[in-house]
């Protein structure tokens, strides 16, 4: 279950990267927010809270 959750979060992180021309002005805002969520979930999995 944890592996599936981490895989989904990593795919969401990759999907939030600003690769389209219209999203170049976004900067790292979308991927930065998702990377924070991924970091929190990984820490919860490591410390066995999930």
CA-nearest of 11, 15, 9, 18 to 39 is 9
Q: What is the pLDDT of residue 9?
A: 77
Burial per residue of 7-35, b for 16 or more beta-carbon CB atoms within 10 angstroms, e otherwise: eebeeebeebeeeeeeeeeeeeebbeebe
> How far is the C-alpha of 47 from the C-alpha of 24, rounded, in Å?
36
Report mean pLDDT in 10-residue bins for the chain, 50 residues: 78 70 67 77 81
> How far is the C-alpha of 49 from the C-alpha of 40, rounded, in Å?
11
């Amino acid at each position: 279950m944890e592996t599936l959750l981490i895989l989904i979060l990593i795919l969401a992180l990759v999907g939030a990267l600003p690769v389209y021309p219209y999203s170049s002005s976004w900067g790292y805002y979308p991927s930065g927010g998702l990377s924070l969520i991924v970091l929190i979930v990984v820490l919860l999995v490591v410390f066995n809270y999930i």
